[in-house]
Every structure is written in C-alpha cells, then in structure tokens.
Structure 1
Amino acid sequence: MALNASPTSSIFKRKSAASPPPKTAASYLSALSAADARRLKAHAPTATPALSLSSSITSDSEDSVLHEKEAYASVAGLEMPLCPPTSEQVFTTVHSEFGHCAREEFRSVSEHTPGTVLKHVAREPPYYIVISTYISYLILICIGHIRDFLGKRFYPRAYRHLMPQDGYAPLNSDFDSFYTRRLKRRMDECFGQPVTGVAGRTIMLLDRYSPDYNATQIFTGTRTRALNISSYNYLGFGQATGGCADAVEESIRRYGVSSAGARLAGGASDLHGQAEALVARFVGQEDALISSMGFATNSAYIPALVNKGCLVISDELNHASIRFGVRLSGANVRMFPHNDMGALENLLREAISQGQPKTHRPWKKILLIVEGIYSMEGTFADLPRIMELKQKYKFYLWVDEAHSIGAVGPHGRGVADYFGIAPRDIDILMGTFTKSFGAAGGYVAGNKALIDRLRVRGYLGAYGESMAPPVLAQVVSSIASIMGVAPPPLTSGSGSTLRLVSTAPDLDAYTGPAPPALLPAWLPSLGAGAAGVTRVRRLAFNARYLHFALNKLGFITYGVPGSPIVPLLLFNPGKMIAFHRMMKAHATPIVVVVVSYPACSLMTTRVRLCVSGAHTKEDMDTVLRACDEIGDVLDLKHGLGKGERWGIDEVCARAVELAAMQTEA
C-alpha cells in the first residue's frame, strides 16, 4: 500500500544509449533555433503544398524539432504496424497517430437497440475489498494528521504557509489542503504525467523520478513512447498530418493565429459564421453559437437562460461547469439520483405542484440539465425516457454533449442520433470541440431566437476572447470529414453556360452531407465522408470490445457498451499508483488516467480508459493483456464468478463476437 515514489523507477529500464537532449533552458533554445534554421533551409516554400488527405504520408511525423528518435527506444508495434500492409492496402495516416486497420469486421454501428436495458447497475466488490479500502484511508489520514501535528511544532518554517502570518489568515486552509498534501501528493506521479508531441494513438512521455516523495520531480532526459489510452481523442482527429492539419496550416496563412478580440468587439470573422452554420447543420438545430472554452460555455450561458424564480433540475453527477453556471444564475436547483427516471418524475410533480418556496407561485421556467455521456461513469443519459417526461410535464431540456458529440450515433451526431430522436425536440444542445474533433472550445445550439438572445446576454460574447482561426479551421475540417461534402452537380443550361443544381438528394436531412456553401472555398478536399464514418465505426467497435472483454476477464467496470469511456474500478488507494506504474512498465508501455477523490467518491477509485477510433484491434488486445496480468497481481478481478470468466486468449480470439453482444452475458 506504499504510495511514495521510488527514485529507481522502471523508466530507467528503457534508457537510450544516445546522448540525452539538452537539459538547460539556454542550450534547449539554442538547439531549437538551430533545428528551425535547418528545417527552413531544407523545406523552402517554393509552392503551395497540396491540401488534401493524400498529403498525409505514411512515414513517421516529427514530434519535436530536436530529433526525438535519438532520445528514446522504439517499441515494436507503436510506430509501425507489426503486420505490414499489402499492396492493395493504402493508408494515408501515420501509424503512431492513427493506427492502420483495414479489416471491416473490426467495425460496429453505434446505435441504441430498442428493448435493451440502458440503466447501469454497479457491481459491488467483496466485503474484504471494502473493509481494506476503508482501513487504508484511515491509516493514511491518521498518519497525515500525526505528521502535521509534529511538523508544525518541530519544523515550523516548513508549515508557515498553513499558519497565520502577521495577523493575516493563511491563504491555503489546513483542512482544504490536507488531502492534497498527505494523500494526493504521495501518488502524484499518476496524476500529472508530462508529455510532448502529438496526443494521437501513441504519445511521448517525459521520463522523471522523485527523490523526495513527489515534492519535486526530476527529468531524466529520456522519453518513452507509449500507447495512449488516456486522451479524449475519440475519433483520432488530434493528428499532426492529414487533411485537417492542412486546413489549419492554410488558415494560419489567411487569418493569422488570433482573432484579437471578443465576438462583440471586432473579434468575429467570416470563418466564425461559417463554423456556426456548419455546427448547427451537424447537430440538427436551427442556429449555433461557438465559444473558445468548453467549461465557460456552460458556466457563462446557463445564467443567460435562467435566473431568480427559475428552477434548474440537475443530475447529481453533472459536470462542475454545469454546477458553476447554475450557481452563478441565482436560480433554484434540485438534484435527482443519477439516471433515476422515477425519482426525476416525482421531483417534477412536486416542483410543479408546489411552485416556488414560501410564495408557491409558479416557476418562471423549469430547465432540466443532463449530460449525453457522463465522463466519470461512462453512462448515457436515458434520453428516450426523458423525452417522454418532457412531453408530459413541459419543461425545457439542456443536453451537455461534451463527450458524446461525434463519438456516438450511426452518423456521429451524438446521443440524439444514437437513440434516433429528432434533435429539434431538444431545446438546447451544448457540446465541446476538445474531444471528438481534436480542437478546443464549445458550442450551444438551438432555435434562432434562443441563440440570438445568448449572443447578447451571454458573458462570452462581450468579455470572452474569440476562437482562434486555426482552431476554427480544425473544427470545420473535422466536422466536414464526418459529414462529407455534397458535390454540387452541374447541368447544362441554355447555350454553353453551366448552372448549379441547388440541392443534392436528401440534403435537408441533418444526417446528410454538408452543402459546399457552408464551407470555406479554400478548404482542402475532404471526400464524401467515408473516412469520417469509418472513424466512428472503429470507435464503436473498440469501445464495445473493451467494455465486454474487461467484464469477461472478471473486472468491475462502470458504464454501458458503446461509451468511449470505460472506467475500471481499483478501490484501494495503494493500487492507483501501482496500476499506473505497471502499465507504463509493460512490454508495450501504456499511459492511463487514474481518477480519485474529489472527481469520484473515495470508495470508487478507478482508472478511466478512453478509447479512440485511432486504436486498432491489436491495441485493444495489448491493453487487455496488460490489464489481465496486472489484475491478477493487484487482485482486481471481482466482477464474475470463477466459472463464468474467459481467458485472455479466448477474449482476443472472440473479439468480433464480444463487440456484437447486446447485453451482459
């Protein structure tokens, strides 16, 4: 259960024989300038580069101008596929950023099957796991308080930041900082892993160690390329090469790197308008409003919709940005248990019948806020049942699709697409561009009257910085890659002139391709959307396969099949850093995100596996084999009885069968 970091970490096992990169700031800047000069001399811009997917070469891309290949040891399968492609297989992506996988059986359709149980029932661990976890926290808390008590008396200078100074109250409260100082810091290695390069299918870790129990971290000068199962790069658009990267590069030439102002103060451009029109078309709403930060989208626009005299009903597991926005609005808030539709209906009946507190006047408006996919649980909102309640009780609905837009649905259009619900039946659709689209920022979509009000009443319009043009280009190109672009057909008119035919078949359906009029004329050709749909289908297969496979191996997982977030329960605090280190020290290094309090309860410490369409079936096999080995060592397999479990070889061999399952067997 030891949580302190050891100076002799496993990272020293993979040191390269080559000389390490420069360690001082001066030498680093000098090497960087020299490398830039070499690149400019070698790649003089003689002509405009080709702006198409074909510009994505199959060789490895540079993660750093300092020749990273000399600073780390290569691991088989991470940079180049173990099985080389045949002459018929042509890949236009870099394998380390987006894995090469041409087999159609490793694809699934992301959609809800009517009649299947949506509600997740959490499995309980054995009693000895619960008791040992409580005892572990009790020991850590007792030792922490003893060390604080003795330290304040024998080492007062080390604790001066916690004690009053010259009549001033301490800025860092002793109670608030206790968990950080005495629990989190001892296992800080698994929370703040520094990286460099492209956060794609693989990622480059900066190796480090701590000689003083994580009070300081020392970089070794070496780097480790690891399989990335921790980023929100759900569709693999976080690439340094490809059509989206070409579009970003061209946008910098045309618009620069910043809009240099707020939307209502000279920071709006034609690219902003085109992006908003495309987002509205993509999510199936009348209009959309984009902002430069996803967290601020909730916290700034919720107060523009509700205020004193309004009621907000919120799922108990809603994101902190939603809670913050509701608190700023001044509206009354009531919470209901996560995805408990019976409790929600009872709450609605009580709220409508009783009205406002004290006066019992009717509420000005009632707004229900849920998330499409809950980031810590991997569960979907029960949208079909919510829509039934909406028709019955006439409340407004706000759906936060930060983790679901682009990641689920047959067309990648989010939870409405996943459940087959008309998106305009939902009043407000909110989402972010940070996850599936490999960009940054957020959006709010709804009817035009609503969006026009938010443009003026929302804080971000007047005070928030406008989204940068390169980020906008990434958003537009990635969405267009998923939607596909309808080619404008040409027909002969009178004489020798040609005229455009106004629409393509089924162009008015929101699941159809994007009209060329919504895209910038300089945007590179992104095809008919086949590549984007393939990413969605690859993500669906990987998510379903990993979810069912972990359950068959005996692990306790949260979430539902099809969610790109697969939480694997660890429970004991000592297992967090152990799991992180053992995954990183695996034959194929794997970087994972460990989640603990306050993001989840103390008892449900977990590792959150984030699946991507950039991963291949072999990558999922690698993760499963590593989890299987580590699960035996750390005693993590408490989900199924001994007779119901599958072996790891059987799981990998029956991957297609697992991904096709509808419910837990």
Structure 2
Amino acid sequence: MPSNIALNPRSPIASMFKKRSSQSMSVMASAASYLSAVSQADARARAHGGTPTSTPALSLSSSVTASSEDTVLNESDDNADGLALPLNPPTSEQVFDTLHSEFGHCANENFRYTSAHPAGAEVKPFEEKEPPYYILLTTYLSYLILICLGHMRDFLGKRFNPKFYRHLLPYDGHAPLNSDFDSFYTRRLKARIDDCFGHPITGVPGRTIALLDRTSPDHNLTQVLTGTKTRALNISSYNYLGFAQARGGCADVVEEGMRRYGVSTCGARLEGGTSELHLAAEALVANFVGQEDALISSMGFATNSTIIPALVGKGCLVISDELNHASIRFGVRLSGANVRMFKHNNMESLETLLREVISQGQPKTHRPWKKILVIVEGLYSMEGTMVNLPVILELKKKYKFYLFVDEAHSIGALGPHGRGVADYYNINPRDIDILMGTFTKSFGAAGGYISGNKSLIDRMRLRGHGGTYAESMTPPVLMQVMASMASIMGVGNGPVSVPRPRAPSLLPSWMQLPPNMADGSQGRARLRRLAFNSRYLSRGLEKLGFITYGHSDSPIVPLLLFNPGKMAVFARMMRTRATPIVIVVVAYPATPLVTSRVRFCLSAAHTKEDIDIVLRACDEIGDVLDLKHLEGERWPLQRIFDNAVELVNMQE
C-alpha cells in the first residue's frame, strides 16, 4: 500500500477547484478586449511555471452576464492556479463559446474516437467478472452482521426509546405507519450513508458542479446546510454530450424561444393542445432517428408507462430483459398482458423462451398469442451493457415478433452520428418496430419520445394515456431539444440509406444556430470526445486491476465495490480529496445483493486530464479499500496516462 496517498481534504496537492470570490467583471465590449484577456491569462499562467495548455474560457454568447460567480476572468484566474486544461492548446485567435467549468476545452484531435461496432465482428456476450471468494464471503458476512445488529437495536430501541420508533408501532388506535420489516433496509443501511445520496447542488451540472456543503449532527437523521459551496469534478450526471450549459448556442436559442412563445405550454397553441413547436420537434425527432413519425411526451418515465399499455393488452405477451428499467415494468403491469423474462442480454435464453411461448400459446386455452412484443434497452444504465441488436433482429425475422427498443441512454450517446444502437451497429432503424428515447440525457432537456411507422404513431396519439392526460412540453424545453438535436444532425446530414428531408425545413425560420452547430461539426466533435472518454476510463480502470461491467464504448462505467461498507467510504474519499469528485454509488435493491458499485457517467464535457484525475483517485483509493481483483496484465498509472490514445484504439 503506498504511503503517500492523499486522503486528507487539505492535501498539499494543488486543487483544480476553489471557492470563487465575488469579484465582478464588466462585459467585454470587443474582440480586442477578449484577446487582451487571453494574453493576460497566458502571462499569469506562465508566471506560475510551465507552459499554458489552453486559452481561458471566453464567451461571445449574448448571455454573458456582467457579474457572476462564473465570470470569465475569475475562471481564468482559477485556471492559472492549477485548473487542469488540455494539451496542445488552441491558438490565441480561437474564442470558446462555453465556460471551461461547464464544458472542458480540449483542442487535441488525438483525444477523439468514433463510436461504432467493427463491421463483420461478432458481438461478444455479456460476462460477469467474479471477484475472489474471500470478497464474496466477507460481503455476505457484512450483511449478516448488519442484520443482527439492526434487529438488536430495534428490539432495545422499541422498549427503551419508543419515541424514535413511533412510526413502526401502533399509536393512539392507529396501525403502524410503516412496516418494520419493509423499512429495515432503509433504516439500518441507507440511513448510515445518506450523506452519499441526494446531495444538494446549484448551477449547471456540467463538467463541474457546485455542491452545497452540509453536515449532520444526528448521524444522518437530518442534514444541515453550512452556507458554503464546493466546486467538484462531476462524474455523476447523464450529461453525455455536455449540452447542459448555461451559455452557448443552445442557450441563446432557448432565450429567443422564450421571447417569442413565453415559458408556459399556452404559447402558439393549435388544436388538441399541440403547438407548432411540438409538430416541428416531432418531425425533427423522426428525421433524427430514421423513422416515419414520432410522438413526444413531457416525461421520460411516462413515455414507457403510458405507451406500452396502448401497444399490448390481454391475450398479448411481453418478453422483457430481466434488467429492464422500472418504467418498462410499470407499463407492462398496467397493460394487463402476460410477461416473461429472459436472462440479461442472453440470446440463447431469449430464443429458448420464444420457442416455448410460441409452441404453448396462451395459458389454459393454448390459443395463439394475439401479439408478442420483445422489449429491450439499447444501453443498460446499471450495467453499461449494450443490446445484441444484430442477433435480436435475426430472431425477429425467424419468430415474427414485434421489437421495442428503449434508447433512453443510447440515443445521442452511441454511434458515429449519435443516433443510438442502430447507428452503432450500422442497422437500418426501420427494421425496429418501436424506438423509444428520452431528452433528459444527451440533449440536456426533459421528456421523451416514441417513434415508428406513421400508422402506429397515429394510433398511439389516440390510445396513449400521455397524450390525453399529461401536460405538454413547454417551449423552452422544446427549443433545447431542437437546438441540441439539430447540432448533432447538422444541416441535411444523415445516413444516405434512409431518405430524410433536410434539417432546415424542420426548424423554425427564426432559429439561427451558430455555424459550427448548423453544419454539425460541433455535434460530431462532442460525439467523438464522449467515445474517447468512455473507452479511456473503462480500459484505464481495467489496466489498474478493477473489476468493471459493461461495454468499453458505453458512457456508463460501473466499478464493482461488492462490500456495502465500501460504498460510503469510496464516495466520501472521492468527495473530500484535494480535487473533489462527485460520483454515484448504487447497491441493493437497485443491484444484486453482492454487486454494490460506483457508476461513473462520462461526458463530452470532460477532458483527458479530468479522466486522469479520476484514474489517479481510483488507483489510490482502490489500494486502501482492496478493490483491485481483476486478473490479467496491469499497467502503472503513468503508463496509462502516457499511452491513453493507444489504449483507446486497442481492439478487444
């Protein structure tokens, strides 16, 4: 175990995140003043030693404010004091339209990768990597000790301190408010590590995030805000393409949309509660995913839970992956259809089940099923695994079922054009009957969509509960969706195999995107940055000896902790480093009992140096907590840093 591990929050290692002062700055009036600020920041950086690696985060956006804690000069001052910036700096003539704290500036074209499945290569099945037996044994023992001590505390507490157990005991003629057994896990495990969940934040959840510091005087029963903030590296948000920005082209389009339509759903209404913006957004979504038509919803969870009951009912069969999202499970329950599950991403299990259900028919009567619907996810958010779409489409041709693909996490994050798993595998999206996705991840907005052929979508408009009972999307959200999606597509940019209209005809005439967004160059750059970051972190962790799950192209990288006690320690040690890092830890019941994990969520907003910081932190903490159990060749940390491009481009 190394002896110089930085465990103290006041470690002498230079921090890249510091509390900002409240200095104000006047708005720069000309390009010359911008370049002058660049030169001054460059001189300050050189005075601190070393060659500067990037220009400061300057913005030509109309949304720059005159006084803000995220002002340009304050940020460039932080950069000079050690904020990690990219290699191969851009020239001083280049001016960025984003803040470095929101979207990291990286001009090195070597730190790019195209997300695509190699043509003709076999899709490898998902394989769980097993830890040593002593890890599993100690994990089970820890749960056993927790359960024994928890029941002992409950037994004594109910008799000697009943006021703290009032919600579990009959009171004043009423039954207990909560079940003792059902709430046991929440009270005895989650309550101990509540400081690792639901941390309040402020500002934009971009490359960095501002945490509202808090403390607990009563062992996490209550949390008290201290009034201070901490800027931390954000590896916990589904901001895959970095469009969660307060400044830039998308933000300017949203502002202009609010001036024209307001902020409520009442603006520019047409019949049926639908506005011209909704029609334009649905046409743009259909164009983007390569389907005939699309239907948008104001909530991603509600998209699944209200559309699935409109697709299937009694006499129908839903075949679902065992790790499908809760919204899918909820929608299937509402539908009244029969449901069968197959092992996660296991195509042999799926085919065996298909043969059984088709040969046996409906229960009791053995009549043929009215409809068989197979539901899978494009990218599974807890495992980081991708659906084996080529094999599923082969089974679809053979057994004649309908296919529903939930692309909540894969749309905008996978494929050379960002169009999800069909794009990643170079498959015509119209071979899939129903494509569902959300705008809450890659597009930095809210809501979801369902797409398919026009007759199907028209039917869903009438039968889906979301269209009848849910509220409409607000104009600002629609503007964000359209601007970010158009930025990924470019003007008329799309696969030639799928006929599609040109993008300008789908956008309002007043919506003028910056040139690098309109031509799609910014979207392509973000996709390639995300792909590089995903592969670099995943493969870097493996070379350090950690057990990870998922595909190397997945922006979700689960690192296995196994023991539940290590979750809290890992999260706290990451958050209290000299460079604070915000992560997500997950345990039962969201995962199997013995596979507690931390999920790293990568973004195009992260730079290569940000990933280096995460790898260094994991390396040090992994030694302390005994987390390195993967068999195979291991690389020293510096070798990983120096050979990042080679590591990313290495074929599996």
Instruction: Tell me the TM-score range normalised by the shorter chain.
Output: 0.7 to 0.9
Give secondary structure in 1 for the equivalent of 2:273. coil
Alpha-carbon distance change, 81 to 423 in structure 1, aligned in 2, over 3 angstroms: closer
Give secondary structure in 2 for the equivalent of 1:303. helix
2:215 touches 2:226 (CA, 8 Å); kept in 1? yes
Asked if 1:251 is matched to 2:257, the reply is yes
**Larger CA deviation: 202-211 vs 283-292:** 202-211
Structure 1 gaps of 5+ residues are 1-7, 22-34, 44-52, 487-504
How many Å separate the matches in 1 of 2:132 and 2:289?
A: 44
Alpha-carbon distance change, 319 to 413 in structure 1, aligned in 2, over 3 angstroms: same
How many Å separate the matches in 1 of 2:286 and 2:306?
A: 20
Aligned residue number for residue 645 of structure 2: 656
Q: CA deviation at 1:171?
A: 2.9
**Larger CA deviation: 153-162 vs 456-465:** 153-162
Q: Deviations over 1:270-322 (max 9, x none)?
A: 00000000000000000000000000100010000100100000000000000
How many Å separate the matches in 1 of 2:402 and 2:171?
A: 51
Q: CA deviation at 1:100?
A: 0.6
How many Å separate the matches in 1 of 2:334 and 2:94?
A: 54
Asked if 1:99 is matched to 2:87, the reply is no
2:261 touches 2:267 (CA, 8 Å); kept in 1? no
How many Å separate the matches in 2 of 1:597 and 1:18?
A: 35
Q: Deviations over 1:12-59 (max 9, x none)?
A: 999x999999xxxxxxxxxxxxx9xx99x999xxxxxxxxx9743898
Aligned residue number for residue 350 of structure 1: 356
How many Å separate the matches in 2 of 1:375 and 1:140?
A: 28
Q: Which of 289, 301, 305 does residue 307 from structure 2 map onto?
A: 301
1:513 touches 1:529 (CA, 8 Å); kept in 2? no
Q: Deviations over 1:48-71 (max 9, x none)?
A: xxxxx974389899776999979x
Q: Which of 200, 215, 224 does residue 194 from structure 1 map onto?
A: 200
How many Å separate the matches in 2 of 1:19 and 1:547?
A: 32
How many Å separate the matches in 2 of 1:176 and 1:262?
A: 48
Give secondary structure in 2 for the equivalent of 1:347. helix
1:133 touches 1:573 (CA, 8 Å); kept in 2? yes
How many Å separate the matches in 2 of 1:211 and 1:406?
A: 43
Alpha-carbon distance change, 659 to 319 in structure 1, aligned in 2, over 3 angstroms: same
**Larger CA deviation: 256-265 vs 465-474:** 256-265
How many Å separate the matches in 1 of 2:397 and 2:64?
A: 54
**Larger CA deviation: 139-148 vs 604-613:** 139-148
Q: CA deviation at 1:326?
A: 0.2
Q: Which of 204, 209, 214 does residue 210 from structure 2 map onto?
A: 204
Q: Deviations over 1:83-137 (max 9, x none)?
A: 8643254432211111111111111110011324432211111111111111111
Aligned residue number for residue 46 of structure 2: none
Asked if 1:133 is matched to 2:139, the reply is yes
How many Å separate the matches in 1 of 2:426 and 2:575?
A: 40
Alpha-carbon distance change, 112 to 20 in structure 1, aligned in 2, over 3 angstroms: closer
How many Å separate the matches in 1 of 2:122 and 2:376?
A: 21
Q: Which of 504, 526, 534 does residue 516 from structure 1 map onto?
A: 504
1:285 touches 1:447 (CA, 8 Å); kept in 2? yes
Alpha-carbon distance change, 359 to 227 in structure 1, aligned in 2, over 3 angstroms: same
Aligned residue number for residue 405 of structure 2: 399
Aligned residue number for residue 491 of structure 1: none
How many Å separate the matches in 2 of 1:549 and 1:609?
A: 13
Alpha-carbon distance change, 20 to 536 in structure 1, aligned in 2, over 3 angstroms: closer
Aligned residue number for residue 45 of structure 2: none
Asked if 1:637 is matched to 2:643, the reply is no
Aligned residue number for residue 450 of structure 2: 444
How many Å separate the matches in 1 of 2:182 and 2:73?
A: 41
How many Å separate the matches in 1 of 2:86 and 2:73?
A: 20
Q: CA deviation at 1:266?
A: 4.7
Asked if 1:587 is matched to 2:578, the reply is yes
How many Å separate the matches in 2 of 1:277 and 1:403?
A: 21
Q: CA deviation at 1:543?
A: 0.5
2:309 touches 2:464 (CA, 8 Å); kept in 1? yes
Q: Deviations over 1:566-601 (max 9, x none)?
A: 000001111111111111122221110001111101
Give secondary structure in 2 for the equivalent of 1:570. strand
**Larger CA deviation: 266-275 vs 385-394:** 266-275
Q: CA deviation at 1:155?
A: 1.4
Amino acid at match of 1:339: N
Asked if 1:109 is matched to 2:102, the reply is no
Q: TM-score, normalised by structure 1?
A: 0.86
Within-5 A mapping of 1:311-350: 311-350=317-356
How many Å separate the matches in 2 of 1:325 and 1:362?
A: 23
Give secondary structure in 2 for the equivalent of 1:650. helix
Give secondary structure in 2 for the equivalent of 1:104. coil
1:89 touches 1:102 (CA, 8 Å); kept in 2? no
How many Å separate the matches in 2 of 1:220 and 1:236?
A: 30
Alpha-carbon distance change, 427 to 201 in structure 1, aligned in 2, over 3 angstroms: same
How many Å separate the matches in 2 of 1:573 and 1:555?
A: 17
2:270 touches 2:276 (CA, 8 Å); kept in 1? no
Aligned residue number for residue 626 of structure 1: 617
How many Å separate the matches in 2 of 1:404 and 1:202?
A: 23
Alpha-carbon distance change, 506 to 304 in structure 1, aligned in 2, over 3 angstroms: closer
Q: Which of 529, 535, 540 does residue 531 from structure 2 map onto?
A: 540
RMSD: 3.2
Aligned residue number for residue 493 of structure 1: none
Q: CA deviation at 1:145?
A: 0.9
Give secondary structure in 2 for the equivalent of 1:366. strand
Alpha-carbon distance change, 145 to 86 in structure 1, aligned in 2, over 3 angstroms: same
Q: Deviations over 1:595-643 (max 9, x none)?
A: 11111012000000001111111111111111111111111100124xx
Amino acid at match of 2:286: A
Alpha-carbon distance change, 260 to 118 in structure 1, aligned in 2, over 3 angstroms: farther
Q: CA deviation at 1:142?
A: 1.0
How many Å separate the matches in 1 of 2:496 and 2:276?
A: 23
Aligned residue number for residue 153 of structure 2: 147
Aligned residue number for residue 284 of structure 1: 290
Aligned residue number for residue 527 of structure 1: 518
Alpha-carbon distance change, 535 to 77 in structure 1, aligned in 2, over 3 angstroms: farther
1:78 touches 1:202 (CA, 8 Å); kept in 2? no
Q: TM-score, normalised by structure 2?
A: 0.87
Q: Which of 161, 165, 170 does residue 159 from structure 1 map onto?
A: 165
Identity of aligned residues (%): 68
How many Å separate the matches in 2 of 1:98 and 1:62?
A: 20
2:321 touches 2:345 (CA, 8 Å); kept in 1? yes
**Larger CA deviation: 582-591 vs 307-316:** 582-591
Alpha-carbon distance change, 19 to 205 in structure 1, aligned in 2, over 3 angstroms: closer
